[in-house]
Amino acid sequence: MALKLPKMILFDYGNTLICEAGWNTLKGQTAVFEHVIKNPYNVTAKDADDFALREYEGNLSQSRDQCIEIHEKQFMQLMYDYLGVEFDVPLEEIEEIFWNATSDGDIMPGADKMIDFINSLGIRSGVISNIGFSGNLLTKRINKFLPNNKFEFILASSEYAYRKPHKMIFDVALRKANLPASDIWFCGDHTICDITGSHNMGMFPVRYDERCIENLWAGPKDINLPFDHLHINTWDEFIDILRSI
């Protein structure tokens, strides 16, 4: 397989650039409930967490199976109005409080070094993430952990209705990039959403398969993909491949 340097590399977010270390939604709800000013039914943080888990594992999972994304703020509006809970700050702040308390976050090993390297080569870059949190919060989190990034755009599925592998969110990225798909590589950890999805759009897929960090949202791992792609385990390996080209 002969490779040429891409003009642009697009990245998945979770467990590709950043991992959500210690993910614990009850911690998130506990932090949120410190801002409660009205609670007529005496709902606890545990009650809210149980409600959210039931919905995400039930009705909302069906939407995601159909590549439809529900914005976290929309869901919070539904949940807290249903539970009769009100806060002393707007839901946009509640969303951020929840995410920050649910996970501290951390960069994937070597992601910062890899970003510096592609920047040094003049390769353009961007992000497409399947995520319920707002695009503004996603951008803020990425910039916190990878301050040297030069991402031209960061697409959160929460803002675009569709999730990967739906072609529409990839199409939006292609239009923003103003490049043919054949000039773009896509790096991600999920074999269906990231790798098969980007391949179907004509991009060249890079399967990032780092197994030292727990991945709560990983797709099927040990499958054979019937098309050309790279399969890497570390970002250092990716740097070596780019350098060799």
Residues 114 and 178 in one domain: yes
Domain that holds residue 50: 25-102
Nearest CA to 137 out of 195, 83, 96, 176 is that of: 96
SS3 215: coil
Per-residue pLDDT in tens (0 to 9) along the chain, 245 residues: 789 999 999 999 999 999 998 899 999 999 999 999 999 999 999 999 999 999 988 888 888 889 999 999 999 999 999 999 999 999 999 999 999 999 999 999 999 999 999 999 999 999 999 999 999 999 999 999 999 999 999 999 999 999 999 999 999 999 999 999 999 999 999 999 999 999 999 999 999 998 777 666 566 666 788 899 999 999 999 999 999 99
Nearest CA to 166 out of 138, 130, 135, 131 is that of: 130
Pairing of strands 124-129, 8-11: parallel
pTM: 0.94
CATH of the domain at 193: 3.40.50.1000
Residues 116 and 50 in one domain: no
Q: How many independent structural domains does the chain possess?
A: 2
The residue from 86, 102, 118 where one domain ends is 102
Question: Does some domain include residue 177?
Answer: yes
Residues 138 and 223 in one domain: yes
Q: What CA–CA distances, in Å, run from 73 to 19, 95, 104, 137, 212?
A: 22, 7, 20, 11, 32
Question: Does some domain include residue 69?
Answer: yes
Asked if residues 187 and 229 have their Cβ atoms less than 8 Å apart, the reply is no
pLDDT of residue 212: 73
pLDDT of residue 1: 72
How far is C-alpha 172 from the chain's CA centre? 16
Residues 16 and 64 in one domain: no
**CA–CA separation, 43 vs 213, rounded Å?**
35
